[in-house]
């Protein structure tokens, strides 16, 4: 019995040992099936890539890099484990780990770029952590355009931005006027002609779309690095090709040619453009001989002899000529039951010439891998002439009864000449650390402007207005000005972008804060502008970005704002007001960005609410593109609104977007509360692109704009009389493009023909008559009528583009 019992106990002990051994094997095997992956993600310049996604799709696990590019991820082992590294704006990289155990460490380098769908580049958009968004110019490259200015066409389609003339490159941003937008090319502020008063005069924008590499745009709450304007900032970066490339395009509205060459040390781009809007202007109500000719040449040269030094030069020569010989005009206006006809026969002509020259030289010294010092010198010169003598004999008729309501003659005369020189020198210092990007600059500007203006307008309405007596000649408006300005501006700014996260490293913050200082010798005024922006990527959803911005924005007066144009009894003697002060705007912006996928395609939704408190405003009136200030700080006000934008691949492989804006303006002027001249209460913009099913050779682009009309009133009148509102601006442009030739991928390593695109655009598809401005006439009973000046009608435009 004892022997049997002992045998049973021995057997039980053996079974327990075997059981324990098996559990140990299972436990150790389970331990072996999991491992810890750590590492760091850098870009090609060995800077940490923050917020990069590190994932193992098969295991459904993912994490994000911190602000130093480091990451940690727990994964299960297998024969092979595929780990994916991705980041917006970089090429996705994958690594395969063979039977990983314990702790694995990887150092990954990501390179800029995206994925290719045939010849269409598809990339995610960089996360926006400031109030400046990066736009992709290729989105609208093949789209229809009446102005031919690619960058401004893209800007005008953004939320909060509007234009009421398809012929112009100028735009309004959140209730501001055309003069409240600052534009930079490669860190140099650029200027436009001063005397332009209509889109048909304007010609080419200074920005050559063929040479553009990057577009950064802010509708408010922008950083201290951008100059002293109250509404928006646009920063353009010109491209530096690393190999030979070229493009030629031609259409009924003009043409352009571009060529760029480059290697590791040297690059040189050249662009020439020609534009004529004769075909478009023939759709105006006013008949006559239109002769607009616009041409410009730009060059951008860079030389980098070594890692320490680089030299850049930008040059631009531009000439705009606009000659016009009107013959007659017939315009019908009014309501369905009350239609009036305005008929005019003209005599006279208009001759305008705008010549501008611009150059900038940048010398940059890299003091180590994280610090750079730049010296930037620039010069701008413009010589402008606007002259016209036009007489019109008009008849105003009630069409239903053929009653002659008024017969009269008017004459418009102008001799306006302006010469301006602006020279600047800028010292800029940049320094980067793991969490900070610090930038500071000191700029000195010298301005020399000479202006001579003489204008008058006479109107004789069938004896109601007698333009002359035996002793004097009476006009409804006269202007005389002879001014000269020599002044110096001193500008300084410093800003820092600080990226940090909480202790758990799950919520990411980007804080941009800075200070800007400016002094103008003409009125001896000094201003200080603090600005701050905070962006948060919350832990609960890495696809969400919350942004808030606030800042004090001054706009020191330039030549146009300081001209006191107070009119007394129809007579204006414009003089420079040396007591004028800077206009001021306090911005408050709150924003929400959400990135998501729908039908496995990327989208981004953005909502921004804003409020601008305005003071020291200089009241002004707008007629077409001409802004006339009264030269005195005598009003205040506010602007508030909401901008919404949905951007993404509405169609796979191509980007589209839709925007919706609401806005309300108010100005306190001489004891009354009135709307500002830019009070556009609502606006909708749509840009939609599509390919024909099964092919990328056929591409369609559609642009739609629907915007509220602006307030208006009699010309040369007080702002209080702007009691009317123009009809809504409605326009649809559509373009079809066909790729007649595409280079084989095997030929991509050498310079050769790349693409041939043939296009046909229908501008103003619905033929809607949009109103740009009004001409006021008076009948024999002293009633005034606002006769609308309509913009361009429906027009076809054929074009061809050849890329190398």
Per the CB < 8 A criterion, the answer to whether 755 and 737 are in contact is no
What integer best gives the mean pLDDT of the chain?
Answer: 85
Q: Which of 215, 204, 334 is nearest to 271 (CA)?
A: 204
Alpha-carbon distances, residue 567 vs 264, 474, 618, 622 (angstroms): 60, 14, 15, 16
Alpha-carbon radius of gyration of the chain: 32
Give the contacts of 613 (CB within 8 A, at least 6 positions apart).
585, 586, 638
| Overall average pLDDT of the 104-123 stretch | 61
What is this structure's pTM? 0.83
The confidence band for 753, taking pLDDT boundaries of 50, 70 and 90, is confident
| Strand-pair category, 245-251 with 254-262 | antiparallel
Longest pairwise C-alpha distance within the chain? 153
Give dist(CA 680, CA 245) in Å, integer: 43
How high is the pLDDT of residue 352? 93
Q: How far is CA 739 from CA 46, 137, 259, in A?
A: 39, 19, 21
| DSSP-derived secondary structure for 294-313 | EEEEEEEEEE-SSSSEEEEE
Q: Would you say 162 and 707 are in contact if contact means Cβ atoms under 8 Å apart? A: yes
**Six-digit token pair at 774?**
């009004």
pLDDT tens-digit profile of 529-579?
999 999 998 888 888 999 999 999 999 888 787 777 666 666 777 778 888
Residue environment code for 713-752, b if the CB has 16+ CB neighbours within 10 A, otherwise e: bbbbeebeebeeebebbebbbbbbbebeebeeeeeeeeee
The pLDDT value recorded for residue 15 is 52
**What is the distance between the alpha carbons of residues 539 and 66, in angstroms, rounded to a whole number?**
12
How many Cα atoms are found within 13 Å in the side-chain-facing hemisphere of 273?
26
Give the Cα separation of 10 and 402 in Å (integer).
126
CA angle centred on 759, ends 758 and 762, rounded to 5°? 165
Report residue 180: phi and psi, to 5°: -100, 20
Name which of 277-281, 448-452, 462-466 the model is least confident about: 462-466
Q: pLDDT (tens digit, 9 = 90+) per residue, 584-643?
A: 999 999 999 999 888 888 899 999 999 999 999 999 888 888 888 888 888 999 999 999
Helix (H) or strand (E) holding 230: none
Q: Is the pLDDT of residue 26 over 60?
A: no
Does residue 51 surpass a pLDDT of 90?
A: no
CA distance linking residue 178 with residue 613, whole number of Å? 19
Please state whether beta strands 181-185 and 232-238 pair in parallel, antiparallel, or not at all (unpaired). parallel
pLDDT above 90 as % of the chain: 42
In the block, residue with structure tokens 């781009």: 269
């Amino acid at each position: 019995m004892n022997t049997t019992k002992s045998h049973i106990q021995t057997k039980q002990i053996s079974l327990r040992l075997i059981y324990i051994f098996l559990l140990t094997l299972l436990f150790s095997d389970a331990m072996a099936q999991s491992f810890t992956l750590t590492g760091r993600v850098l870009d090609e310049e060995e800077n940490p890539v923050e917020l990069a996604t590190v994932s193992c799709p098969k295991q459904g696990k993912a994490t994000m890099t911190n602000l130093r590019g480091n990451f940690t991820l727990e994964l299960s082992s297998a024969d092979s484990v595929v780990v994916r590294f991705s980041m917006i704006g970089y090429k996705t990289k994958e690594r395969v780990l063979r039977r990983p155990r314990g702790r694995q460490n990887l150092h990954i380098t990501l390179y800029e770029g995206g994925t290719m769908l045939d010849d269409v580049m598809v990339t995610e958009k960089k996360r926006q952590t400031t109030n400046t968004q990066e736009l992709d110019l290729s989105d609208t490259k093949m789209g229809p355009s009446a102005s031919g200015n690619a960058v401004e066409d893209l800007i005008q389609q953004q939320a909060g931005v509007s234009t009421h003339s398809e012929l112009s490159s100028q735009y309004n941003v959140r209730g501001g006027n055309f003069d409240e937008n600052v534009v930079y090319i490669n860190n140099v502020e650029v200027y436009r002609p001063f005397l332009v008063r209509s889109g048909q005069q304007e010609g080419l924008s200074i920005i050559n779309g063929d040479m553009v590499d990057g577009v950064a745009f802010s509708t408010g709450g922008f950083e201290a690095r951008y100059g002293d304007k109250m509404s928006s900032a646009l920063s353009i970066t010109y491209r530096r090709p690393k190999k030979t490339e070229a493009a030629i395009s031609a259409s009924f509205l003009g043409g352009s040619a571009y060529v760029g060459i480059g290697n590791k040390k040297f690059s040189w781009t050249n662009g020439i453009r020609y534009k004529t809007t004769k075909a478009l202007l023939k759709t105006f109500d006013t008949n006559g001989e239109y002769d607009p000719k616009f041409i410009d040449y730009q060059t951008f040269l860079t030389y980098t002899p070594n890692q320490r030094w680089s030299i850049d030069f930008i040059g631009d020569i531009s000439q705009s000529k606009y000659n016009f010989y009107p013959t007659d005009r017939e315009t019908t206006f009014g309501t369905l039951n009350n239609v009036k006809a305005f008929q005019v026969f003209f005599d006279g002509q208009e001759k305008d010439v705008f010549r501008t020259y611009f150059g900038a030289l940048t010398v940059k010294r890299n003091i180590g891998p994280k610090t750079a010092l730049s010296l930037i010198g620039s010069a701008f010169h413009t010589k402008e002439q606007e002259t016209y003598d036009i007489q019109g004999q008009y008849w105003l008729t009630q069409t239903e009864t053929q009653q002659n309501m008024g017969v009269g003659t008017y004459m418009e005369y102008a001799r306006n000449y302006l010469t301006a020189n602006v020279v600047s020198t800028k010292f800029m210092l940049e320094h980067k650390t793991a969490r900070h990007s610090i930038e500071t600059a000191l700029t000195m500007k010298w301005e020399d402007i000479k202006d001579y203006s003489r204008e008058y307008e006479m109107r004789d309405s069938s004896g109601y207005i007698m333009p002359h007596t035996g002793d004097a000649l009476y006009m409804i408006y006269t202007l005389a000005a002879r001014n000269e300005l020599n002044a110096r501006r001193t500008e300084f700014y410093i800003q820092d972008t600080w990226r940090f996260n909480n202790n758990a490293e799950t919520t990411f913050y980007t804080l941009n804060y800075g200070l800007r200082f400016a002094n103008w010798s003409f009125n001896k005024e000094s201003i200080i502008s603090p600005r701050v922006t905070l962006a948060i990527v919350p832990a609960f959803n890495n696809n969400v970005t919350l942004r808030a911005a606030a800042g004090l924005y001054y706009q020191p007066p330039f030549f146009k704002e300081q001209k006191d144009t107070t009119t007394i009894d129809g007579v204006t003697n414009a003089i420079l007001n040396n007591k004028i002060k800077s206009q001021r705007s306090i911005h408050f912006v709150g924003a929400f960005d959400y990135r998501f996928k729908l039908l496995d395609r990327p989208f981004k939704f953005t909502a921004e609410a804003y409020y601008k408190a305005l003071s020291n405003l200089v009241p002004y009136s707008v007629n077409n593109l001409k802004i006339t200030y009264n030269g005195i700080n005598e009003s205040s006000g506010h602007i508030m609104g909401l901008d919404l934008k949905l951007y993404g691949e509405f169609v796979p492989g191509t980007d589209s977007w839709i925007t919706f804006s609401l806005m309300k303006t108010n100005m306190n002027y001489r004891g009354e509360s009135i709307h500002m001249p830019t009070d556009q209460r609502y606006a909708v913009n749509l840009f939609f692109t599509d390919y024909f099913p099964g092919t990328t050779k056929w591409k369609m682009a559609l642009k739609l704009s629907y915007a509220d009309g602006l307030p208006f009133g009699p010309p040369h009148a007080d702002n209080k009389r702007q009691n009317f509102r123009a009809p809504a601006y409605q326009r649809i442009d559509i373009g079809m493009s066909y790729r007649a030739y595409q280079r084989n991928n095997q030929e991509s390593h050498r310079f050769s023909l790349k693409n041939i695109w043939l296009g046909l655009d229908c501008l103003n598809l619905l033929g809607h008559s949009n109103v740009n401005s009004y001409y006021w006439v008076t009948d024999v009973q002293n009633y005034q009528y606002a006769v609308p000046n309509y913009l361009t009608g429906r027009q076809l435009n054929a074009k061809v583009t050849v890329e190398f």
